[in-house]
Amino acid sequence: MKIISGGVCAAKGFLAAGMHCGIRRNKSKKDLALIYSQVPAAAAAVYTTNLVKGAPLTVTREHLADGKAQAVICNSGNANTCNAGGVQVARDMCALTAKALKLKPEDVVVASTGVIGQPLSLEPIAAAMDALASQLSDAGSPDACQAIMTTDTCPKELAVEFELGGKVCRIGGIAKGSGMIHPNMATMLVFLTTDAAISAEMLQKALSGDIRNTFNMLSVDGDTSTNDMVTVLANGLAGNPEITGENEDFFRFMKALNTVNVHLCRMLAGDGEGATKLLECRVTGAGDLDTAKTVAKSVICSSLTKAAMFGADANWGRVLCAIGYSGARVDVDKIGVRFRSPAGTVAVCENGVGIPFSEEEAKKILLEKEIEILVDLGSGAEAATAWGCDLTYDYVRINGDYRT
């Protein structure tokens, strides 16, 4: 398996485009993205756990009931959430896309991201649709990636190449998300494409299984969004024997999917609103997997720990505090904590108590852009990883006037 370029267009038969249509006032920012498979594809998706859901999720769920899709339309700048008539607007977006691509509206996935509670006008989307469709290209992933961004400071895309049944296959994806990100889905949109042949049922099984260890272990600010969605389309053009059960090829596919999703998770966490550092909490020595996940999530979500990392302060007591209120059953007297970065590693806690360490060396380690918080629970063999970022002054500045 190797990482390659191409994003959502790396897999055979996938094209993409992105442009400014007028939803966002800033004309320099793209706000409408289109992804298209040249042949019908198996499709699967997972959605936010928030009870308040954007209208596009309702429509997408309806359209994917048959496990098939051929295109994705997504706008940024407006979430189309909590609006009278929002569901109809989402359906109309699908109809416009279907007309431009000569598809059925039911074969279109629709997504929106941006401000909640403001009506989404269909006019700029309708006016731009033919031009957007004409720009579809196998080099269009960067444009589509930019068009789904809101407060993101950088695009997020990745693809990998691997083999199934002697055939070269590819999985690629683009993602957006910077704030309003919390475990169990977040204000992020992730669109994945693959040319592997896999049934819709197994595709859903793979995606649902993988997000438990990837996107559900990601947090920026503790807020779970209304519009989160991860979708994957598989068009089978790689020509491998179709995966219809849990065989060796299925697990190879799962590994490739996980590779893409972990990389996208790290990109999303590192680009958290106002963030200066990517935080990765690795928990080992847990008695069971649920305990490992609970502890990792609690540490990565701790505002005090996040603030300490921003200040390069090796305040390990905040890590233990987060473990203590996580709800996980742990033996505090066995916990060890280390901080690690490209600048080195420093042990700060053993058997639940502090140990002597150099504050100067610790600060040097914590000044790096990527920091690992290593927690050993000393009670078993299970492990888990969660991703997040530091908490900075800019997070408040960005969200203080996000709507206005």
Residue with tokens 């691997």, as numbered in its chain: 162
- Phi, psi (rounded to 5 degrees) for 216: -80, 0
Phi-psi region of 238 (alpha: psi -120 to 50; beta: other; left: phi over 0): alpha
187 is catalytic: yes
Annotated catalytic residue: which of 48, 60, 151, 187?
Answer: 187
Active site residues: 187
